[in-house]
Structure 1
């Protein structure tokens, strides 16, 4: 018997951030070769580990991926995306952040780029990130 469409056995919770600079640009990172969706541009972030709070996961991921320090209090919940992904279901929680310590570096990405939200529409991005662009435009 097939599962009803509303039933999911494996939900992958991922956190990401729209880091916003003083000019209203957002930082995107390019996925490296050898990873799924290599070459696509995405909001920095990563998987929430079992028992980890989403904000704590994002603080950890930003330190690992970009070498920056962010306080959980500086992460403002912005929006989310829900998307089927390779036999699982992706729940992407997007936060906005305007305050961090350090200069973002591409520690796990091929490249970083500061872009205006309107310019994201023309960029190759993962399917879960695309619906978030309009909401980021509206917030900024």
Structure 2
């Protein structure tokens, strides 16, 4: 099991790459008043004290989207420093869930193919993952799966 303990001084965030049966991933829109607002993001949220990244993600997906998710493997982990805060992100694969995702906090949702994602439309801390997902989709080994 990967180490998902947050580093001191970082805000720990767990997020999901939720993929449907057609290969589209679910994105959530950050409202303009939020940090890094007016961007698409992978759904998720901050870890609560004593909570693992997987537990936090399961809770956040239920609170924000109304789904009960099976959390898959850790896809990507990174740290990012913004001018006003530092975040440590844990991105997990989610391919199975119960319920229909809805923006329970008034946030728009969109199902988009990975190839169509535009990194500049994401918070800076998400752009490396977007590029990684697009490289994986273009790789010959991904085409054989």
TM range (shorter): 0.7 to 0.9
**Structure 2: runs of 5 or more not aligned:** 1-6
Offset at 1:10? 1.4
Is the contact between residue 81 and residue 132 of structure 1 (CA under 8 Å) also seen in structure 2? no
For these two proteins, the number of residue pairs brought into alignment is 131
Secondary structure, in 3 states, of the residue corresponding to 1:128? helix
Is the contact between residue 120 and residue 127 of structure 2 (CA under 8 Å) also seen in structure 1? no
Q: Aligned Cα RMSD in Å?
A: 1.9
* TM, length-normalised to structure 2: 0.82
Alignment of 1:1-140 (within 5 A): 10-71=9-70, 74-121=71-118, 124-137=121-134, 138=136
Rounded to whole Å, the distance in 1 between the matches of 2:106 and 2:57 is 16
Rounded to whole Å, the distance in 2 between the matches of 1:122 and 1:94 is 16
Is the contact between residue 24 and residue 111 of structure 2 (CA under 8 Å) also seen in structure 1? yes
Rounded to whole Å, the distance in 2 between the matches of 1:124 and 1:47 is 21
Higher RCO by CA contacts (8 Å cutoff, separation 6 or greater): 1
- Which one has a larger percent helix, Structure 1 or Structure 2? 2
Is the contact between residue 13 and residue 47 of structure 1 (CA under 8 Å) also seen in structure 2? yes
Distance 1:102 1:22, change over 3 A: same
Rounded to whole Å, the distance in 1 between the matches of 2:132 and 2:74 is 12
Is the contact between residue 81 and residue 129 of structure 1 (CA under 8 Å) also seen in structure 2? no
